[in-house]
Amino acid sequence: MKETGNNYCVILAGGKGRRLWPCSREERPKQFVDFFGTGRTALQQTYDRFARILPSENIFVSTNDDYAHLVREQLPQLDDSRLLAEPIHRGTAPSVAWATHRIIHINPDANIIVTPSDLTIIGEEQFKECVDRAFCFVAEHKRVLAMGVKPTRPEPGYGYIQMGDTECDGVFSVQSFTEKPERDFAKIFMDSGEFLWNTGMFIANASRLAKCFSKLLPVVLRNYDETHPVFDFEEENRFIHDNFPSYPNVSLDSGILEKTDGVCVMCCNFGWADLGTWHGIYEAMHKGEGDNVVINTDAVLDNARGNVIKLSDGRLAVVSGIDNCIIAEEGNVLLVCRKEDSSSNVRRLTNEIQMKKGEEYI
On whether residue 187 sits in a domain, the answer given is no
Q: Is residue 163 part of a domain?
A: no
Nearest residue to 279 via CA among 19, 68, 34: 19
Q: Please indicate, yes or no, if residue 294 is contained in any of the structural domains.
A: yes
Residue 242 domain-assigned (yes or no): yes
**Is residue 216 located within the same domain as residue 117?**
yes
CATH number assigned to the domain comprising residue 89: 3.90.550.10
Q: Is residue 120 part of a domain?
A: yes
Residue 119 in domain: yes
249 and 319 in a common domain: no
Residues 217 and 347 in one domain: no
Residue 1: what pLDDT?
Answer: 39
pTM of the prediction? 0.94
pLDDT band at 320 (very low <50, low <70, confident <90, very high): very high
- The pLDDT of residue 165 is above 80: yes
Q: Is the pLDDT of residue 280 over 90?
A: no
Q: Do residues 102 and 218 both lie within one domain? A: yes
Do 233 and 291 lie in a common domain? no
Number of domains into which the chain is organized: 2
Q: How high is the pLDDT of residue 156?
A: 85
For residue 167, being part of any structural domain is answered with no
Are 256 and 301 members of one domain? no
Query: What is the edge-to-edge ordering of all strands in the sheet holding 308-310?
Result: 293-294, 308-310, 325-330, 333-338
28 and 101 housed in the same domain? yes
Does 104 score more than 60 pLDDT?
Answer: yes
340 shares a domain with 301: yes
Query: Percentage of the chain with pLDDT > 70?
Result: 99
Q: Each residue of 230-248: pLDDT tens digit?
A: 999 999 999 999 999 999 9
348 domain-assigned: yes
Does residue 333 surpass a pLDDT of 80? yes
Q: Is the pLDDT of residue 281 over 80?
A: yes
**In 85-113, which positions are buried (b, 16+ CB within 10 angstroms) versus exposed (e)?**
bbeeebbbbbbbbbbbbbbbebeeebbbb
Average pLDDT, the chain: 93
For residue 340, what pLDDT band results from cuts at 50, 70 and 90? confident
The reply to whether 231 and 287 lie within a common domain is: no
Residue 15 clears pLDDT 70, i.e. is over it: yes
Q: Are residues 229 and 353 in the same domain?
A: no
Domain ranges, residue 30:
7-145+196-261
Residue 2 pLDDT > 60:
no
